[in-house]
Amino acid sequence: MSTVSLDEMFKALSHPVRRDILHWLKQPELYFADQEHPLSLGVCAGKIERKTGLSQSTVSAHLATLQRAGLVSSKKVGQWNFFCRNEEQIQQLLNQLTQDL
């Protein structure tokens, strides 16, 4: 894991809304059970927006920060963007932290 990506990951984790989003995406069936599309696609950006209660542009910026850090991935299906956690990257970060910090 490069130094730059570690910087980006910690910056991404330094905001409570971004930590909330990661937490919700861990168990989408608990937090987004009302999504019409299958949760196996990920969670639709609009659903995440509504759950935060923040504006579309703010949440979009938070999701972009998480994605740049490699902590979430997105998939475009039709007009929708679906987000899910990048579990492999998150696990690598945890392993590295436990070992190095």
Q: What does the binding site for a second copy look like in residue numbers (CB under 8 A)?
A: 3, 6-8, 10-11, 13-16, 19, 22-23, 90, 93-94, 97-98, 100-101
Side by side, the strands of the sheet bearing 80-85 are 43-44, 80-85, 72-77
Nearer to a second copy, 18 or 47 (CB): 18
Nearest to 86 by CA among 3, 9, 7: 9
Give me the least distance between CB of 79 and a second copy, in Å please: 31
Give me the least distance between CB of 98 and a second copy, in Å please: 6
Nearest to 62 by CA among 2, 5, 22, 93: 22
Q: What is the DSSP letter of 41?
A: G
Nearer to a second copy, 63 or 93 (CB): 93
Give me the least distance between CB of 74 and a second copy, in Å please: 19
